[in-house]
Structure 1
Amino acid sequence: MSALQPIPVGWASTGETGAQNYDEFADDAEITALVAANPDSMLGVEMPHRTPEAVAAGLDFAAALPAASARLASLVDTGKLAAFTDAIAVYRIGDRFLGMFCLVDTAEIAAGPGAPGRVIRNEEVFAAKVAERTALIQTLATLTSPVLLVQADGDALHEALADVVAESGEPDATDVDQHGLTHAIWLVGPGPDRDRLLAAADTGELVVADGNHRSLAAQQAGLTRFLAVVAPAGSVSIQPYQRLLRQLPMPVPEILDGLRASGAGVRSVDGRPATPPRGTVVLYADGQTYEVTLPPAAGSAVDRLDHTVVEQLLIRHVLGLTPDHPAISYIGGDYPAGWLAAEVDADRAALAVLLAPVTVEDFVEVNLDRATMPRKSTWFTPKARTGLVLADVHEDLGAISTPDVQPEALSR
């Protein structure tokens, strides 16, 4: 049986529900502001404790979960989400990205090196985030945000996706993201097009490019399938993933001395911080920029990554912190170096840590080794939007699925 399957019962956006994923923000206050500006945003469902109402009431995530269910039901009742059955969805972002929404068997997620399974989950996760996503799945019985899977050899898939887009006319739904990119979906029901797309996507290994927490949450919730966007690797690129230390356990001069004692080269430089080349890390604190030349790293491909060296040398050894310490904020590629510097200048952070982006070649090598990437080390773009295609999982959770809107017949 194929590892990739159509969505038996789902919903597609009719407009205004699309949003950035919950983990794309450096500050939770941004989520509250976005939901206030657009109450139909799926962020209000995915982050119910960050809605204006929940913030005003002081609700935590668990206490706000009933409101997430009510908000999702309202989106269906008001026609913001239209039900469909037995379909996949071709997905285009801008003029470069092509992929497809479908379901993927959780049994295909490999448990580690040498373990069976074609889906490679490659990054350390935060247990608290997984617990929240698991609780959301169990409360909603609906998957609202996809896991992005990339297929290394995706030429056949790209060709099939492009053919369907060219032949299908206007999309079933569109949405514009914060970068001005248009996200478009075409629902594809039973027939030769769907068969060709599923066959082209269901080959080789599929690497989790975005959604490690969501895929693990699907497993922990007991689901047999998770919602995914499968795309050729050529559709995505990797941007920098930086760090902010909100507080420091020691003065900056002691940190620099600790780095020097560990074999790193440290020098002060003029000018504002910028993303460095590989092998160098830029630190910014108290209005001063420092270039840190990392000591040579031996070992496997993952051991040699700058992100691994920084995690071991700076975070663990010098600062004495664990990578999941609440003082550390992981800042994705949507936020430029100037934004990080401004956070430090405004005393909202004590130290900015800027690293070179992981190369696609390194990412592929680590995954072929079935090794695990350091947490928050790859910021893939473009990002799949949450709230465009949803999947009902009542059946997996032991309930009966009863959509509130009659599913539309699909001709494609």
Structure 2
Amino acid sequence: MPTVDDDLPSELGPEEFSAWVFGASGPRAEDGLVLAPFRGVRFVPDVAGDLASVTTPPYDLIDDDAVRRLLASGGHNVVRLILPRPAEQGYREAGETLRRWLAEGALATDAEPALYVYEAAERGQVRQRGLIGGLGLRAEADAVVLPHENVFPGPVRDRLALMSAARANLEPIFLVYEGGGDAARIVDEAAAATPLLEFHADDGLTHRLWQITDPGLHDRIAADLRDRQALIADGHHRYATYRALQARHHAAGDGPGPWDQGLALLVDSTRYPPRLGAIHRVLPGLPPTTALDRAGTVFRVTEMAGLAAATEALAAAEGPAFLLGGSGSLHLLTDPDPGRLEQAMPAEHSARWRGLDTAVLDHLLIAGLWNIPEDEHSVEVVHDDPAAAVDRARRTGGTAVLLNPLKVEDVLAIAGEGERVPRKSTSFGPKPRTGLVLRLLEGP
């Protein structure tokens, strides 16, 4: 394993950093895909309050206004643990808050190690159901846990500081695998019983949780998963943080321990196919007229009358296509000049990768025609909601770029060949609710 100092190697770019953090080999107790039982930490509603009010979406889907509102409201909302403010002081306070809530009884540790069945349903229809457990951490070369996006040092450093101070995994990452075996049957059988908890949240979903504590069922699940391969659907930076934390402990001579696993939701995609949404871009520093003028030198430009008609036209377009917004009108970009497109795309990538809309956006438009650096400040992202992206662009005087979602088969094929789709290409969902179950990195 590499040595991890207090600071991660920030001098590396995203490709080199991702290769470093995902690729390092390390000790493991077992081969294959492992999802281990653990003693979960859960909110106690009688003390903490209604579960809908103390749980949240994943940390990177909560905007600053919502964070400020939740922090100002008091109470036991999990945002106090996952997004403390100010960050540097708040990391330590988050750990102290977690232990105080445990001491006060707002959080409690389950009596037995368990795998947890999690379900998200909408109007009575199950949209997602899977297993929450401790995911065995593996090097990418083992072809067991596959990332499909690169990561940046900054967000990993942020999550590593928080995870180290809290000594806990505070929210699960989300993985999918092609199953259809014994584990899927056990999950569905468990979900036929009365849930451990159930509530309806402001995301429009009903969230439910069950426990599987029977060691015999744990063994059957382990046997079914052992030869499977899982794709990280959401949570690349947190998985990278798991790997960095593991490396830090082993470099310190700590040996095997809870840091060799990370909290994860594993969903059988053959039984419960994920929804893959688009991640739109907002470029605050790029005026819409400049964006359109430069794009028009390479793309066919069609002015659109309204957002509904424009998004329909975008969905129907063949080949790379984008919708520009931010001023009073919307413009559809299609049919890029083949010569300019080939010239802009990196030759070292596969043809499938070079055809991805997000790859064309990054290389031909953002870096090429618009000459904008690809970082968190110059290029903002909005998950799924095209109207929100256009509104944000209008407020900042910038440009919104709306995209079609990638195809699941393209993401799987690219990850299987050892490539990664461009950053923020995929929005798999529905994402697991944060605060349903936490995992301590020490004895309860």
Please indicate the TM-score interval, normalised by the length of the shorter structure: 0.7 to 0.9
1:225-277 Cα distance to aligned partner (Å, 9 max, x none): 111111112421101111111222xx43333332233x322232222353622
* Distance in 2 (alpha carbons) for counterparts of 1:103 and 1:160: 18
Q: Does 1:305 align with 2:373?
A: no
- Name the Cα RMSD after superposition: 2.1
Which residue number in structure 1 is paired with residue 433 of structure 2? 385
The alignment status of 1:18 with 2:55, answered yes or no, reads yes
In 2: Cα distance, 1:224 partner to 1:199 partner: 20
How many angstroms apart in 2 are the aligned matches of 1:13 and 1:214?
22
Q: Which consecutive unaligned segments of at least 5 residues does structure 1 have?
A: 50-58, 395-400, 404-412
Structure 2 CA distance, aligned partners of 1:144 and 1:349?
Answer: 36
For residues 264-303 of structure 1, the aligned pairs below 5 Å read 264-272=299-307, 274=311, 276-277=314-315, 279-295=320-336, 299-303=350-354
Query: Which residues of 2 match residues 39-118 of structure 1 at below 5 A?
Result: 39-49=75-85, 59=86, 61-84=87-110, 85-94=112-121, 95-106=126-137, 108-110=138-140, 115-118=141-144
Judging changes above 3 Å, is the alpha-carbon distance between structure 1 residues 96 and 252 closer, same or farther for their aligned structure 2 residues? closer
Name the CA shift for 1:7/1:140 in 2 (closer, same or farther; >3 Å). Answer: farther
Conserved 8 A contact 1:109-1:121: no
SS of the aligned residue for 1:123 comes to coil
Q: Secondary structure at the match of 1:302?
A: helix
> Is contact 2:372-2:378 (8 Å) kept?
no
Distance in 1 between residues matched to 2:324 and 2:293, nearest whole Å: 13
Q: Measure, in 1, the Cα distance between the counterparts of 2:290 and 2:397.
A: 17
1:196 maps onto 2:245 in alignment: no
Q: In 2 relative to 1, CA 353–244 (structure 1 residues): closer, same or farther, beyond 3 Å?
A: same
Q: Which residue of 2 aligns with 1:139?
A: 165
For the residues of structure 2 that align with 1:355 and 1:196, how far apart are their CA atoms? Answer: 42
CA–CA separation in structure 1 for the residues paired with 2:44 and 2:180:
29
Matched AA of 1:96: R
Structure 1 residues 122 and 349: alpha-carbon distance in aligned structure 2, compared to 1, 3 A threshold:
farther
Indicate the residue corresponding to 1:226 in structure 2.
262
Counterpart in the other structure of 1:209: 233
| Structure 2 residues not aligned, in runs of 5+ | 1-29, 46-50, 247-258, 343-349
| Equivalent pair of 1:12/1:388 in contact (CA under 8 Å) | yes
Q: 1:178 to 1:109 in 2, by over 3 A?
A: farther
Task: Assess if the C-alpha contact under 8 Å between 1:259 and 1:313 holds in 2.
Answer: no
SS in 2 for 1:96: strand
| Closer/same/farther in 2, CA of residues 271 and 35 from structure 1, 3 Å limit | same
Asked if 2 retains the 8 angstrom alpha-carbon contact of 1:4 and 1:102, the reply is: no
Cα distance in 2 for partners of 1:152, 1:45 equals 33
Measure the CA separation in 2 of the matches of 1:96 and 1:378: 18
Q: Deviation per CA, 1:86-124: give whole Å up to 9, x if none.
A: 221111111231101111221x240xxxx2230001112
Q: Secondary structure at the match of 1:353?
A: strand
Cα separation, 2, equivalents of 1:225 and 1:145: 13
- In the TM superposition, what is the alpha-carbon distance from 1:368 to its structure 2 partner? 1.9
Partners of 1:212 and 1:83 lie apart in 2 by: 27
1:316/1:322 contact within 8 Å kept: yes
Residues 334-383 of structure 1: CA distance to partner in whole angstroms, max 9, x if unpaired? Answer: xx2222222233x2351111000111121222122221011111111111
CA distance in 2 between partners of 1:362 and 1:138 (Å): 35
User: Helix, strand or coil: the match of 1:341?
Assistant: helix
After superposition, the Cα gap between the structure-2 partners of 1:344 and 1:101, relative to the gap in structure 1 and judged at 3 Å, is same
Task: State the secondary structure of the residue aligned to 2:171.
Answer: coil
TM-superposed CA distance for 1:30, in Å, is 1.6
Match of 2:401 among 353, 359, 362: 353
Identity, in percent, stands at 24
User: Residue 161 of structure 1: CA displacement?
Assistant: 0.7
Partner of 2:11: none
Corresponding residue of 1:172 = 196
Show the counterpart of 1:241.
279
The Cα offsets for residues 141-169 of structure 1, whole Å up to 9 and x where unpaired, read as 10011111100234543322101222xx3
- Pair 1:349–1:138, CA change in 2 (3 A): farther
Aligned equivalent of 2:289: 253
Q: Are 1:339 and 2:388 an aligned pair?
A: yes
Query: Which residue of 36, 52, 62 maps to 1:6?
Result: 36
User: Greater helix percent: which structure?
Assistant: 2
The 3-state SS of whatever aligns with 1:136 is helix
8 Å Cα contact 1:20/1:43 also seen in 2: no
Q: TM-score, normalised by structure 2?
A: 0.78
Correspondent of 2:146 among 120, 141, 144 = 120
Query: Residues of 2 paired with 1:260 and 1:338: CA distance?
Result: 23
Deviation string, structure 1 residues 147-203 (Cα, Å, up to 9, x no partner): 11100234543322101222xx32222343322212111122243222223333333
- Name which of 309, 323, 326 aligns with 2:374: 323
Query: Which residue in the other structure is 1:53 paired with?
Result: none
Asked if the contact 2:200/2:206 (under 8 Å) is kept, the reply is: yes
Task: Give SS of 2:431's match.
Answer: coil
- CA gap 1:289/1:155 in 2 versus in 1, 3 angstroms: farther
Name the SS of the counterpart of 1:153 in structure 2. Answer: coil
Q: Pick closer, same or farther for the CA change 1:100–1:38 going to 2, 3 Å.
A: farther
What secondary structure is seen at the aligned counterpart in 2 of 1:230?
Answer: strand
SS of the residue corresponding to residue 292 of structure 1 reads strand
- SS of residue matched to 1:92: strand
